[in-house]
Structure 1
């Protein structure tokens, strides 16, 4: 009986309810989340350059760490990524309990959904599971553009 109880307890503590399980961000999923939001977003393919060291949020709090950066690339129009984009952005790293996102690690070209507030502040959320940016891939861009143009939205498997 004692062995059965220990096995049941071990199984319960290893379940997803007790651990953060993250799926890799997908271009179509983050596009749809931005599209369906009540907030205003601009979709950008480009590079993120930090203008200061990445600030880390405090785990177990809801207060984001804000890091200033510049994103350069192309914004999404009805025809594709064709509008030049070069702006200061804020990266808001957030936590979910002890797990936190980071403003660091945006190496290479990214596809990012930047929230635009009423004061023209462009914000990228970086949560513990990736937030609203992902590394650019040809396939991700192709599926995002298909979703944007036709409404045929296919998430990568």
Structure 2
């Protein structure tokens, strides 16, 4: 009995340790510089805003979509961002807009990772954050998925990095240095 338990515990530990790197590689962490380059190379237009979010409407389900063998659920909510938009000289121009926040979640059996998208921004409205917002015909939106990105704390180093990137200076991700 003890041998069976020890084998099961050892097997569970090996599976956990070996799966962790695979999961970690599936969501490489973004930083301000790498996100800036992705947005800069995208077909869509983006603005970078430093500010605070206030949730105006509660989340609602947009629907589900199959992509290959995976099923995704989309939810969104409306929130207001009050702050400043980035330009070549930093965050100088006032910005106050209602934004549609969208969250695309891969559906896993018996696991709902898309339960409450409204809490995501509501938790962030007590401090300034840096958002990469996509410009649309209706205004702006912010879309995130299973792997987070596009929103960062407005720390001094992140604000300086945005300024460097906007001015065409050194715009390398921290892990590239």
TM-score w.r.t. length of structure 2 = 0.70
Shift, 1:36, TM fit = 1.2
Which structure is higher in helix share?
A: 2
Equivalent residues in 2 for 1:141-152, closer than 5 Å: 141-152=159-170
Residue 10 (str. 1) matches residue 25 (str. 2): no
Shift, 1:29, TM fit = 1.7
Equivalent residues in 2 for 1:2-41, closer than 5 Å: 10=15, 14=19, 16-17=21-22, 21-41=26-46
SS of 2:159's partner is helix
Alpha carbons of 1:86 and 1:80: their partners in 2 closer, same or farther (altered >3 Å)?
A: same
Residue 77 (str. 1) matches residue 82 (str. 2): no
Whole-angstrom CA distance in 1 between matches of 2:149 and 2:118: 10
Q: 2:130 aligns with which of 94, 111, 123?
A: 111
For structure 2, list consecutive stretches of 5 or more residues without a partner in the other structure.
Answer: 1-6, 65-69
SS of 1:61's partner is strand
Alpha carbons of 1:42 and 1:55: their partners in 2 closer, same or farther (altered >3 Å)?
A: same
Aligned to 2:151: 133
For structure 1, list consecutive stretches of 5 or more residues without a partner in the other structure.
Answer: none
- For the Cα contact (< 8 Å) 1:25–1:129, is it kept in 2? no
Shift, 1:67, TM fit = 0.4
Shift, 1:133, TM fit = 1.2
| Deviation readout 1:98-137 (Å, 9 max, x if unpaired) | 35593433312111111111x2321011222223212221
TM-score w.r.t. length of structure 1 = 0.77
Shift, 1:149, TM fit = 0.8
Whole-angstrom CA distance in 1 between matches of 2:85 and 2:171: 19
Over the residues paired in the alignment, what is the CA RMSD in angstroms? 3.1
Aligned to 1:124: 142
Whole-angstrom CA distance in 2 between matches of 1:51 and 1:125: 17
SS of 1:74's partner is strand
Report the count of equivalent residues: 151
